[in-house]
Structure 1
C-alpha cells in the first residue's frame, strides 16, 4: 500500500470525528510538510503516514510537538509491528497509531494524547487552497500547495474578477504575497512563469497585467496553435536555451521549489511533463546523453511568443 493510498481512509476516519483534512501542509516554522493536518474548531492534529514503522516516522511525528494538539502515525497492519521500547516512546510522547488492514479499513491501535499548549503556526498555514488542490496526503512528486502557488492563485483570482489591465501596485493592494520584495519578484514571476493565464503589456515604461482570455485564445489557432497546461509552460520556460539538461536540473529552475525537493522529487514531477512537451514537438531528447533534454526551434518560438507579449 502506497502512502498516497492511505490518504482517503485517513481522511474519512478524521471526518467521522468532526475534523477537516488538509493534505500536504507546509509549515516553515516547524521546518517541514505534514502528510495530513486535521482541524476541528481550535483543535489541530497531524497524521504522518508511512509503509512501515521506522525511527524516521517517529522523528517526523515528533516534529509537530508544540504545533498540534493531536499527533498520529499511520501504518499498515503487521503482527508485532512494534516492540515494547517503541510502545514506550509513543506513549511517553502521546503519539497515536492508526493501523490499516489490507482491505482498507482503519482503526486506532493507540490513542493520541491531547496536548493543550501549542503554537499557532501550523493552524495559520492552512488555506482553502489545500482543500481545492488535486493533492493527496503522502503524495510524492510535486504538485504541493506551496507559498508560491498560494500567491499565484490569489493573483489569478483577483485578475480574473477584475477583468482589465492592472498595475503591480494595484495587485499588491489586494493580494498578500510570500515575497520579501513583492513588486519586483511578483512582476518577474508573472512575466516568466505564469504566461499561460497572465498577459502583460508595457506602456510609458510601466507594466500592466490582466487575466488571459482562455476561450478567445484557444478558439483562435493563429494566436495559440499549441495548447499548454500551466505546468507544461512553466517547465518549458524554465529550460535553458540551447543546453542539454537533466530533469533534476530543470526542476531546480522551477519557481517556488527548494533545491532539496528538486534533488529528491523533481525528476518524478518533471519527467511526465517533458514527455508531453516532446509529443508537442517543443523539446527533444538527447540521443547520446542519457536523460537529457533541450528546447527545439518550435519550443523556442513558443517561448519567444510568450516573452514578447
Structure 2
C-alpha cells in the first residue's frame, strides 16, 4: 500500500463522526485503483481491485472494540485495516505507536487521517514475526540469576529490590559493621564482585570515599542496611 497521501498535518482530525473518515479513506483507495463501497455486510469499508480485497474499519480512536472488530473481519479477508484520526503531540504519538505495535501482532494494518484528509499507512496487514532482542533477554536472564530469593511482590509500583540494590545493601552492611574498607576487602567479605564499582558510583547515597580505594558508609547507608531506609535519592 502507498505510505502516504496528501499533505502531512499533525493536528488531530476534529471530526464528530466516523462517517467523516470515509471520504478521505475512499479517495485514497480509489486513487490506488480500488473500487470502494461503504457498509458492505459488517464492514465499514470494502475495497476491491481485481481478485484483491481489503476491509477498513473506521473509528474516532483506538479501543478494544475496534481491535475486536478488525480481528473479526479477518474471517472475511486477509487484508484488514483500521483507520483513525491522526494523533496530537508527543503523548498522542506515544500511545499511537503502542497501538501500531499491537496491530502488527494482530496482523492488522493501521491508517491515520489528518485534519486535511491526508491518509497515511503506518503498517500493512500480514503475519507478525516478533523481533527478539538478545541484549534485552540477556539482561533479563542475568538479573533473574543474580537476584537473591524473591524479594519483591509482582505488580509492585514502588521500590523494586534489584540484584544491584541487594549487592549495595550487602556492601553497606559490611561497612556498617567493620568500618571503612578497601573495595577489594568488601568484595571478598560479601561475595559482591562489583563492590568497588557500586561504592564508587554511590547511586543511593550510602557510601563515602574516605581515601583512595577506601570507602565508608553514610548514615543513610547504615539505616538501609538495618532495614530502616529513609527515602533514597535514586532507585537502584
TM-score interval, smaller chain: 0.3 to 0.5
Relative contact order (alpha carbons < 8 A, sep ≥ 6): 1 or 2 greater? Answer: 2
